[in-house]
Amino acid sequence: MFSFSSSALVDRPFDWAYELKDLGYTGWEIVNEGRQRLTPDTLPLAEAILETTDLIITIHLPYSDLNLASINQPIWEESVKQTKNCLNLASNFSRLAVLHPGHLSPLGKQMPDRAWEQNILAIQEICDHAANLDMVVAVENMPVIESLLGRTPAEIIGIIENVDRENLGFVFDVGHANTNGNVDQFLELLGDRIIHAHIHDNHGERDEHLPVKFGTVNWKHVVKVFNGYSGRFVTESRSLDEGAKSMRNLKTFME
């Protein structure tokens, strides 16, 4: 049920994955950024992990310098293309891919309805491509940055309902919701749609990615809502040690 993920660990990412099982993890979420990015060169390293361990691999699709809500058509097309390419590379060993919604560029802020339409169209194309690969896409709620789409339950519901694809689900990022002060609202309105969960803590002001119990999230309440949940808990952490600490602390609320 527990996977590890980190965008902060950039050194030898395809080596430290072998340490996860000893820490108590059963899965790894590959963040397609920097040295973790799946390419024809790194793909054999990921496949070797799959062949030599029993880790469940999920994928976090790329997001840096990409924008699914871009009104600049060539940028939008490249963002969709790179996302699809990542799905192609991961499809042999991963069934679930996490996706960030787009964001409002300076022009997008002047034309928010158009940017929203671009975001919906992009996710529809990505979901259709994923369906052909027998993969599920999980859209993630975003932290407290004004330009980001998907910060509120209403926006996430709007994305899911407007995209209208059977293989689109919701990954609930608890830490992101805490920065927006809407953890309870997400759990109330979207608790039954959660298929994947990102676990980390903060003090409610910025996306600190602290271990569980090191911030202000009410984990006792969060865990109650996850009763009966069958997806994975992904500790998004700054180090392996902090990830293991998060996992141990969360388990204390589950006992």
Tens of pLDDT, residue by residue over 89-143, are 999 999 999 999 999 999 999 999 999 999 999 999 999 999 999 999 999 999 9
pLDDT above 70 (res 253): yes
Is residue 152 within 8 A of residue 177, CB to CB? The reply is no
Residues near 2 by Cβ (< 8 Å), separated by ≥ 6?
Answer: 24, 25, 26, 27, 232, 233, 234, 235, 247
Whether the Cβ atoms of residue 190 and residue 204 lie closer than 8 Å to each other: no
Q: Which residue has the tokens 């027998």?
A: 134
Q: Domain boundaries in the chain?
A: 2-254
Cα–Cα separations (whole angstroms), residue 233 to 26, 43, 56, 226: 10, 24, 12, 10
If residue 248 lies in a helix (H) or strand (E), which one and from where to where?
helix 240-254
Helix (H) or strand (E) holding 146: none
H/E run at residue 94: strand 94-99
Question: What integer pLDDT is reported at residue 9 of this predicted model?
Answer: 62
pLDDT band for position 16 (50/70/90)? confident
Select 2-254's CATH number: 3.40.1440.10, 3.30.70.580, 3.40.1190.20, 3.20.20.150. Answer: 3.20.20.150
What's the longest Cα–Cα distance across the chain?
A: 51
User: Among the listed ranges 43-52, 65-74, 206-215, which one has the minimum average pLDDT value?
Assistant: 43-52
Q: What is the pTM of this model?
A: 0.96
Buried b (16+ CB within 10 A) or exposed e, 13-50: bbeebeebeeeebebbbbbbeeebbbeeebeeebeebb
For residue 8, the model assigns a pLDDT of 73
